[in-house]
A and B are shown apart, each in its own frame.
Chain A
Amino acid sequence: MNDLHARQRVRLTLRLVAALGITVFFLFPIYWLFMISFKTADEIFSYPPKWYPGHLQFGNYAVLFKDGDAIAVWHSLVVAGGSTLIAMFLGTICAYSLARFKTGGEHLANWIISQRMVPPIAVVFPIFLLYVWLGWVDTYVGVILLYTAFNLPYVIWMMRGYILDIPLALEESALVDGCTRWQVIWRVVFPMCRAGLFATAIFTFVFAWNEFLFALVLTRTEVGTYTVQVTHYFGGQSNFWAKISAMSVLGTLPIFVAVAFMQRYLVRGISLGAVKG
């Protein structure tokens, strides 16, 4: 028996070592990115490269703020936040209709899901031209609307599953007790699928926050998101590296913080989407 325990302990230790190694391996590039953002230009271009900054200096960040480039993060927030809120609201009530009333039957449900497979590159062109005609290029409205459209299928698909899990009797009881259909959605459905709402929302937000192609095409100077801003520093050397890393960190840090708080929802959102469906 001791032999078995010893073997299990060895296995556990090995697994722990492997887990540590793998985690370090996956996190290293992120560490590198963060670290570069704190280095001065000389430190960045010292050879051989040092793996730690001499001291933590925020000069690179100061430059971004001074030049006004950091506003890109704010644009990202408005765009991602706005589109997430709208997509969650419209998508959830649409999912409710699909779940409880089977509106549009299989055809509508399939059409909505198929929209998720639309390749962005194929539609970005017509939409760009449409926006030019509407005067929506480089506006909040335009980008938010597009992100909302792109997130809706996912929201609808996920929320439909969560809503179907709510016992019907809860809603029927509310109907008899005096709720209008709207009140049932607000007072019963939304609270009951709160976990699903968070999981879907965080996933949707991250997707919009990190999006690049549409932002590249549809924004210029007014609402450029941080992903676009980062690419403005490409193709060069020297201080551009510092800006690349600093801007990247500025855009990535908020997501890391959000994920830290919502971690279990995010994990649930990713895995449940597949396991459920």
Chain B
Amino acid sequence: MADLKITGLHKYYGSVHAVKGIDLEIPAGEFTVLVGQSGCGKSTLLRTIAGLEDADQGNIEIGGELMNHVLPRDRDIAMVFQNYALYPYMTVFENIAFGLRARKTPAAEIEPKVRRAARMLAIEPLLDRYPRQLSGGQLQRVAIGRAVVRNARLYLFDEPLSNLDAQLRDEMRGEIKRLHQELGKTMIYVTHDQIEAMTMADRIVLLRDGKIEQSGAPLDLYERPATRYVAGFLGSPAMNFVPAQLQDSGALGVQLADGSVLALPVSRQGKLSARRGQPIILGVRPEHVTRAGGELRQGLARRTALIELVQPTGSRTYATFRLGGAEVVAELQAHDVSQPGETIEVAIDMNRVVLIDPASELVVS
């Protein structure tokens, strides 16, 4: 396995600046997820690492060696494509063995290697079949098997689960994660699905518009987002955003549009005193807006909520109400509410809210 280091990477497609100066260091053996919306540059970044595209500016180093002018076949990497990229005129065995044959591996070595990879992915009985006879999930395993068999030092995944249905995706997520634990190789995984990112990554790199918005461990990004974009991207349902203002007199609290104030815990007030009176965006996750019990802990603010929309998922019920004029989704127990129009007491955990500067969109607390 090898580490990856990218410095100052720029990539243009004609006049479109797809990658705008990315610096990234990935230690060996780590599972890194590049995540972001369509067009954010994550696939471009991956393909440049693979050597399928040339960087216009910047350096790519794998294992400490400069790779800018090295052909893909010489970079010792393996790649799994979104559309599997299996050869329809070859059997599963031949597909997996393809890379080994291209590198003139002795025939005697090929068979055991292919079988071992197939066993690892539970597709050994399929070795004599043709791709057209396989299901989507099986095809994906073959594609992964083809990557695994070469024992490369870096693995690249380009949205491999996008074409699978939800159930299969859940299954394969775990499989790939398990694969990483078994092989211990450095893996870079591209997806637009934030659930995949959260569940699979050792580290998430969130890309936006060709730049890195934030990178770090999944829970770091989740609990301590650096910008509004990161805060809103991770988590499902998404974080609620309420435009508000910091009180300019008295105890520092968040003043909503309707005039009511949500008190901030003392521990947080210090950093914010310089921003007294300034507009602020209050960000609170649905799981931090819960049903208020009798006595509230420190830092929880009580509110009366008139429910407008009810969305039960079975284990929880998501209820929408208005806070200071903005729509807020609360995560309640399954039977807390059943109909729009009901009223319920909710508690907002002010220890966990994030405060965002509207102008810069940076999280200030």
Q: Shortest distance in angstroms between A118's beta carbon and chain B's nearest beta carbon?
A: 34
* Interfacial chain A residues near B78, Cβ < 8 Å: 176-177
Interface set, chain A 176-203, CB cutoff 8 A to B = 176-180, 183, 187-188, 191-192
Stretch of B80-88, B107-115, B121-129 on the interface side: B80-88
B102:A172 contact, CB within 8 angstroms: no
The yes or no answer to B216 lying at the interface (CB within 8 A) is no
**A179 and B81 alpha carbons, distance in the complex (Å):** 16
> Which of A169, A177, A183, A192 contacts B146, CB < 8 Å?
A177
* Interfacial chain B residues near A192, Cβ < 8 Å: 87-89
The yes or no answer to A175 lying at the interface (CB within 8 A) is yes
**A176 and B67 alpha carbons, distance in the complex (Å):** 14
A176:B102 contact, CB within 8 angstroms: no
A187:B77 contact, CB within 8 angstroms: no
B72:A176 contact, CB within 8 angstroms: yes
The yes or no answer to A167 lying at the interface (CB within 8 A) is yes
The yes or no answer to B192 lying at the interface (CB within 8 A) is no
> Which of A169, A172, A178, A180 contacts B99, CB < 8 Å?
A178
A172:B89 contact, CB within 8 angstroms: no
Which has the most chain A C-beta neighbours within 10 Å: B52, B84, B85, B98?
B85
Interface set, chain B 100-150, CB cutoff 8 A to A = 100, 102-103, 146, 150
* Interfacial chain B residues near A187, Cβ < 8 Å: 98, 102
**A180 and B101 alpha carbons, distance in the complex (Å):** 12
The yes or no answer to B79 lying at the interface (CB within 8 A) is yes
Residue of B nearest to A175 (CB): B72
Q: Shortest distance in angstroms between B359's beta carbon and chain A's nearest beta carbon?
A: 43
* Interfacial chain B residues near A183, Cβ < 8 Å: 102
A174:B81 contact, CB within 8 angstroms: no
A169:B73 contact, CB within 8 angstroms: no
The yes or no answer to A170 lying at the interface (CB within 8 A) is yes
Interface set, chain A 24-45, CB cutoff 8 A to B = none
Residue of A nearest to B152 (CB): A176
**A95 and B132 alpha carbons, distance in the complex (Å):** 28
Q: Shortest distance in angstroms between A41's beta carbon and chain B's nearest beta carbon?
A: 55
> Which of B52, B79, B87, B156 contacts A170, CB < 8 Å?
B87
* Interfacial chain A residues near B73, Cβ < 8 Å: 175-180
The yes or no answer to B354 lying at the interface (CB within 8 A) is no
Interface set, chain A 130-185, CB cutoff 8 A to B = 167, 169-170, 172-180, 183
**A172 and B99 alpha carbons, distance in the complex (Å):** 12
**A173 and B88 alpha carbons, distance in the complex (Å):** 13
Given A180-B73, A192-B89; A172-B98 close (CB under 8 Å) = no
* Interfacial chain B residues near A188, Cβ < 8 Å: 87
**A95 and B170 alpha carbons, distance in the complex (Å):** 42
**A169 and B156 alpha carbons, distance in the complex (Å):** 14
B98:A177 contact, CB within 8 angstroms: yes
B72:A169 contact, CB within 8 angstroms: no
A174:B52 contact, CB within 8 angstroms: no
A176:B83 contact, CB within 8 angstroms: no
Which has the most chain B C-beta neighbours within 10 Å: A167, A169, A176?
A176
> Which of A167, A176, A180, A191 contacts B79, CB < 8 Å?
A176
**A178 and B105 alpha carbons, distance in the complex (Å):** 11
Q: Shortest distance in angstroms between B160's beta carbon and chain A's nearest beta carbon?
A: 12
Given A177-B98, A191-B89; A172-B103 close (CB under 8 Å) = no
The yes or no answer to B239 lying at the interface (CB within 8 A) is no
B98:A174 contact, CB within 8 angstroms: yes
* Interfacial chain B residues near A173, Cβ < 8 Å: 79, 81, 85, 146
Taking Cβ atoms with an 8 Å cutoff, the residues of A that contact B are: 167, 169-170, 172-180, 183, 187-188, 191-192
Q: List 28 A-B contacts (CB under 8 A).
A: A167-B83, A167-B85, A169-B83, A169-B84, A169-B85, A172-B50, A172-B52, A172-B72, A172-B79, A172-B81, A173-B81, A174-B98, A174-B102, A175-B51, A175-B71, A176-B50, A176-B52, A176-B73, A176-B79, A176-B156, A177-B78, A177-B102, A178-B99, A178-B100, A179-B73, A180-B73, A187-B98, A191-B87
If A169-B82, A173-B79 are given as contacts, then 18 extra A-B residue pairs at C-beta distance below 8 Å, sorted by A number, are A167-B83, A169-B83, A169-B84, A172-B85, A173-B85, A173-B146, A175-B52, A175-B71, A176-B50, A176-B51, A177-B99, A179-B73, A180-B71, A183-B102, A187-B102, A191-B89, A192-B88, A192-B89
Cβ-closest 10 pairs across A and B: A177-B99, A173-B85, A169-B85, A178-B102, A178-B103, A176-B79, A179-B102, A169-B81, A175-B72, A178-B73
